[in-house]
Amino acid sequence: MDNIEELNAEQRIIEAAADVFEESGFDGARMQQIADKAGINKALLHYYFRSKDLLFEKVFLIVAERIFSGFIKAFEEDGTIFQKIELFLTKHQELLYKNRRFPIFFFNEISRNPTLMKKLVAKLEFNNRFKNLILQLENEKEAGIIRQDVDVKHLMINIVSLSVFPYIGRPVIKEIMSDFGYNYEKFLEERKTVVANFVINSIKA
Amino acid sequence: MDNIEELNAEQRIIEAAADVFEESGFDGARMQQIADKAGINKALLHYYFRSKDLLFEKVFLIVAERIFSGFIKAFEEDGTIFQKIELFLTKHQELLYKNRRFPIFFFNEISRNPTLMKKLVAKLEFNNRFKNLILQLENEKEAGIIRQDVDVKHLMINIVSLSVFPYIGRPVIKEIMSDFGYNYEKFLEERKTVVANFVINSIKA
DNA sequence: TATATCTTTGACCAATTGGTTAAACCAAAT
DNA sequence: ATTTGGTTTAACCAATTGGTCAAAGATATA
């Protein structure tokens, strides 16, 4: 959303709020700052969204849905499990790279208010979307393509862990890397292929 | 620190502050709440630590050092790389399980104030402590114990990712798991062996 | 006992913050 | 031209928050 001026007040508020909340978190965010960034009076925030809590919840769900639905589709395309993993990792990395501040913001806010996750899960219909993937994994296990001892739950979490953690731990990794003379950005670039290989090596029969 | 009454005021403040900051984050934490939990007057906080910022920094570094030095040693023991990985994962999981709220707190605060990480790295002497591990990995690579294409940086991040992410994403995973009829605590328990196997499968020659 | 130093407190303050309200603005309908 | 409805604003408010300060307690020293 570059041309924020063209949007109407309500939409400008949402974009501004997304930005400020992501930058400072719920507790650190200031209604005045959101109003300034949206180019409107502070009272208008309350006119459209009643309270900081309600504004936050609405914005949080909008942004989270935007990002999640971006890569959740990767698992719904056709292809072998290896292809799906590679496709997911590519899309995931792409999205993370464009939204570096999102992961830590997301997990932090969810930790402070787990109810948000219930609402998000309901909105995104996780359950339905992953059923086929689970079936496919069981099939490929029996077909001898992947190891017998692979567990779907753990595999999924492993993939997401490996993909998203470098963004959550960005400043930590960056600092340690530079301490060793490595470059963080180069590291992220390498990771696009490294992670896929790591996962596939680990599960193929 | 169970018997908080036996400590002197300054120590009680540190323990109370650690608790409140970990629970609410820097922005969400209230000096009054820390004072209450420490059983002292709010003015005493400022007598000992001057400001919220200084109190936070001191407490953050104390808690982070406590936890980091707990598992960093795992890599300094003798043994093959496989043994070290298993030892690290065991210790790491143990510590994470006892300090569930720490990871998200830690990474969130570091993201908002990366300077903290500089101070922590200096305090913990990361560089010196990992040199030997890197040498060992190169040796075992040449000896044909682990794959030629294993990269030390990525391997380290992979291990930490797989280990710590389930705690960062706790409410997220919990919600999705229950949506599928799985149990999160059981999942964590399984993970102790699953992760080690996953990593070792992936790197052994 | 008197004095000096460190510890602890209650009362207080200035600044900030989320939120309210009454009035002004403005486009469309009559 | 006037009314009507939604939109936007400036001014304001009550509550909270980090922080201060002078005085009271406590402890050790002489």
Tokens representing B123? Answer: 């305090």
pLDDT (mean) for A84-94: 91
Choose from B33, B100, B117 for mutation: most chain A CBs within 10 A. B117
Q: Is residue B141 part of a domain?
A: yes
> What pLDDT was estimated at residue A168?
98
Residues B77 and B35 in one domain: no
Strand C contacts in A 40-99 (CB under 7 A): 42-43, 46, 50-53
pLDDT lower than 70: segments of chain B: 1-6
**Which range is least confidently modeled, A38-42, A69-73, B35-39, B134-138?**
A69-73
Q: Is residue B193 part of a domain?
A: yes
Residues B80 and B174 in one domain: yes
Residues B44 and B76 in one domain: no
The 10s digit of each residue's pLDDT in A23-36 is: 999 999 999 999 99
Radius of gyration for chain B, computed over Cα atoms and rounded to the nearest angstrom: 20
Q: Is residue A8 part of a domain?
A: no
Q: Can you tell me the distance from the alpha carbon of B177 to that of B185, in angstroms, rounded to the nearest whole number?
A: 10
Residue A1 has pLDDT above 90, yes or no: no
> What one-character-per-residue DSSP string does A70-90 give?
HHHGGGGSSS-HHHHHHHHHH
Bigger pLDDT: A115 vs A192: A115
B184/chain A closest Cα distance in angstroms = 10
> What pLDDT was estimated at residue B2?
39
The 10s digit of each residue's pLDDT in B66-75 is: 999 887 887 7
Residues B3 and B41 in one domain: yes
- Are B201 and A198 an interchain contact pair (Cβ–Cβ within 8 Å)? no
Nucleotide with smallest C1' distance to residue B41 CA: C9
Query: Tokens 């301490």 map to which residue?
Result: A179
Q: Can you tell me the distance from the alpha carbon of A23 to that of A91, in angstroms, rounded to the nearest whole number?
A: 23
The 10s digit of each residue's pLDDT in B74-100 is: 778 888 999 999 999 999 999 999 999
* CA A5 / C1′ C23 distance in Å: 27
- N-to-C CA span, chain B: 45
Residues B140 and B191 in one domain: yes
Residues B79 and B44 in one domain: no
Residues B10 and B83 in one domain: no
Go through chain A and tell me how many residues it has: 205
Q: What is the CATH number of the domain that holds B99?
A: 1.10.357
- Other Cβ atoms less than 10 A from the Cβ of A68: the count is 17
- N-to-C CA span, chain A: 45
Residues B46 and B72 in one domain: no
* CA A27 / C1′ D23 distance in Å: 36
Domain count, chain B: 2
- Are A161 and B162 an interchain contact pair (Cβ–Cβ within 8 Å)? yes
CB-strand contact B31/D, under 7 Å: yes
- Are A182 and B121 an interchain contact pair (Cβ–Cβ within 8 Å)? no
Residues B96 and B158 in one domain: yes
- Are A162 and B162 an interchain contact pair (Cβ–Cβ within 8 Å)? yes
Q: Can you tell me the distance from the alpha carbon of A153 to that of A130, in angstroms, rounded to the nearest whole number?
A: 11
A8/chain B closest Cα distance in angstroms = 31
Q: Is residue A168 part of a domain?
A: yes
> What pLDDT was estimated at residue B198?
83
Strand C contacts in B 5-44 (CB under 7 A): 8-10, 40-44
Which range marks the domain in which residue A79 is found?
Answer: 69-99+125-203
- Are B107 and A168 in contact by the 8 Å Cβ rule? The answer is yes
Write out the H or E segment, with its range, that includes residue B200.
Answer: helix B184-203
Q: Is residue A107 part of a domain?
A: no
Cα B72–B159–A124 angle (5° rounding)? 130
A184 phi-psi bin (left φ>0, alpha ψ -120 to 50, beta other): alpha
Nucleotide with smallest C1' distance to residue B48 CA: C7
Q: Is residue A129 part of a domain?
A: yes
- Are B117 and A172 in contact by the 8 Å Cβ rule? The answer is yes
**Which range is least confidently modeled, A8-17, A132-141, B50-59, B123-132?**
B123-132
- Are B109 and B25 in contact by the 8 Å Cβ rule? The answer is yes
- Are A121 and B162 an interchain contact pair (Cβ–Cβ within 8 Å)? no
Confidence of residue A6 (pLDDT cuts 50, 70, 90): low
Choose from B172, B178, B197 for mutation: most chain A CBs within 10 A. B172
* CA B106 / C1′ C30 distance in Å: 63
Residues B187 and B110 in one domain: yes
**Which range is least confidently modeled, A39-48, A57-66, B71-80, B150-159?**
B71-80
Nucleotide with smallest C1' distance to residue A27 CA: C17
> What pLDDT was estimated at residue B36?
98
Q: Is residue A151 part of a domain?
A: yes
Phi, psi of A40, deg, nearest 5: -140, 175
Residues B84 and B38 in one domain: no
Three-state DSSP class for B6?
Answer: helix
Residue A15 has pLDDT above 90, yes or no: yes
Q: What is the CATH number of the domain that holds B6?
A: 1.10.10.60
Nearest chain A Cα to B105, which residue? A108
Residues B14 and B89 in one domain: no
Q: Is residue A174 part of a domain?
A: yes
